[in-house]
Amino acid sequence: MAEKFPNIPLVMHEDTFYDFFIPYRHPESNDDIWGGHGLETYGEDIKLVFRLNNNYVWTVLDGSDNLNQWIVPNIHYVNRVCYLVTEIPHNDLPVEFRIPHRNSSLTPLGLKRQMNKLGRALAWWNNASEAEKRFACGMK
């Protein structure tokens, strides 16, 4: 097993999500939501979501605290706001991006640190065995 496991699951700021995974407006999108990047949770957009490679699909969720929202990998149904598609796959990395209820952004240094941390964690995750992944997530 690898000597050093990343701190999983990762919780990061939404700025890191946008800069690292690069969401985009899918050409078949029917609505203009979430800054033009979002896919709706119904109609033709949800049909499109189910046709896409799940490694590039993210769900925006309302938080249980009713303040923050979250961007999480894969397709989720409960508390979903919309779906996002990215250029970079998540490969099921356990990561969550917090969207603060108060508009705030990371400093350039803070963003750089989170980008480096995320890059290292994803590289580790992509090369780890299933046993290493389970161990890093606290499962046996």
Per-residue pLDDT reduced to its tens digit, 5-33: 677 889 999 999 999 999 999 999 988 89
Q: What is the pLDDT of residue 6?
A: 72
Per-residue pLDDT reduced to its tens digit, 53-84: 999 999 999 987 768 899 999 999 999 999 99
Averaged pLDDT score across all residues of the chain: 91
DSSP the chain: --S----SSEEEEHHHHHHHH-EE--TT--S-BGGGTBB-SSHHHHHHHHHS-GGGEEEEEE-TTSS-EEEEES---TTEEEEEEESS--TT--EEEEE-SS-----HHHHHHHHHHHHHHHHHHHH--HHHHHHHTT--
For the entire predicted model, the pTM comes to 0.91
pLDDT (average), residues 116-139: 91
